[in-house]
Structure 1
């Protein structure tokens, strides 16, 4: 996934109201940008961190800039834009290399309602074996070296999604969950049990039921982000 134009660099002053952040650009200009991440952004939203923004001239936008990347205190570049995650996973599905379990599905649809459930799946894959619903989660938090954690804040919505996927599989269907860690230091993904124990329980239940739980690591670079490796999902 490549950005349409070069990113603008600056320093984070504060992130607030979930969707807003104040940034001072390298040229000294101060601005407010859109923050496309509803989580707590653990370790990624401290004042003073180096950040990169995209810019848009689309009419009707209240804030021209969108926060795309941050460099943590440890010097790790992280993609915080949750809206980029589906594009990364879609590229991996289409390539058929990093996610062979999902197959080279000839029919892929995005943002599809799950029949009879309060959820829109990120992808609906259809092949000769039938239909598979796929949910994608963006991972930015890592509190220990190499261990990426999800979620970074209690997520009743995430638990509900797992319950839907588990119900699909128990009813004879197919479902998958793909974590995408947009940070190059990630070596594995784990449930953040200390932050949201309910999510950890729901994830383990989904795995036991047969939901395919997969994870990708992505390299965050100046001109774009690319999923470049598989990561194990560890549930100790």
Structure 2
């Protein structure tokens, strides 16, 4: 996926999880942060960031903050909507007969339902932006919703679905994601139980630039 209208700026602060102040062309601009996670290790004073200009003239904020530059790693995409978009692109290249986003299953809405022949698939997508010591971690904040989705996938697996959790690694040079048990132990426990139940865990590596994100992983779902 490619962002059409972007600009570089410098991060100032983040008053709450929805907005940030940045320095753009010598002025302070209030922008929308497209990630409600903590991102504490990324959004540091004076760090380079990338903004996408909104095409809605009636919005209160003209820009979305979509990427942050981190030493040694380069640009990290923090757009929480991007993982589902690139996974949809990725799935269209894998010969599925049906790909349906936002599929209702049980008490949850799973990111993708697919069919190939007589086989049915459910895939939940998680974006990873947290890197520690060369490894990706998820989540960077507690996610009750994430645990709920894992439980639903375990039920579906027992009912004959192929079920998977795809971690989209929104940074260059990282190829593994581990559960951030320090931040959310329950997520780590649920992920471990899911693996034992046969749920597939996919680490999707990406090519990230300041205005683009593309899955480069050789993994194919069969």
TM-score normalised by length of structure 2: 0.93
Rounded to whole Å, the distance in 2 between the matches of 1:127 and 1:208 is: 24
The reply on whether 1:224 has 2:215 as its aligned counterpart is: no
Q: Does 1:170 align with 2:158?
A: yes
Segments of structure 2 that go 5 or more residues without pairing to the other structure are: none
Local SS of the residue matching 1:229: coil
Partner residue, 2:45: 47
Aligned equivalents of 1:86, 1:75: Cα separation in 2: 22
For 2:176 and 2:100, the matched residues in 1 are separated by: 28
> Where do 4+ consecutive residues of structure 1 move more than 6 Å?
none
Q: Displacement, 1:179?
A: 0.4
Q: Distance in 2 between matches of 1:216 and 1:149?
A: 13
Give matches, 1:17-36, under 5 Å.
Answer: 17-25=16-24, 27-36=25-34
Q: What is the CA distance between 1:173 and its match in structure 2?
A: 2.4
Q: Give the gaps of 5 or more residues in structure 1.
A: 97-103, 232-236
Alignment partner, residue 2 of structure 2: 2
SS of 1:202's equivalent?
Answer: helix
Q: Deviations over 1:58-93 (max 9, x none)?
A: 143221100111002445210000101111111221
Q: 1:93 aligns with which of 68, 91, 94?
A: 91
Matched with 1:135 is 124
- Asked if 1:108 is matched to 2:106, the reply is no
Helix, strand or coil at the partner of 1:82: coil
Structure 1 position 229, deviation (Å): 2.4
Secondary structure at 2:14 match in 1: strand
Q: CA RMSD in A?
A: 1.6
Partners of 1:23 and 1:181 lie apart in 2 by 25
SS of corresponding position for 2:173: coil
1:209 positional shift:
0.5
For the 8 Å contact 2:73–2:172, the answer to whether it is kept is no
Equivalences, count: 219
2:56 is equivalent to residue 58 of structure 1: yes
- Kept in 2, the 8 Å contact 1:76–1:185? The answer is no
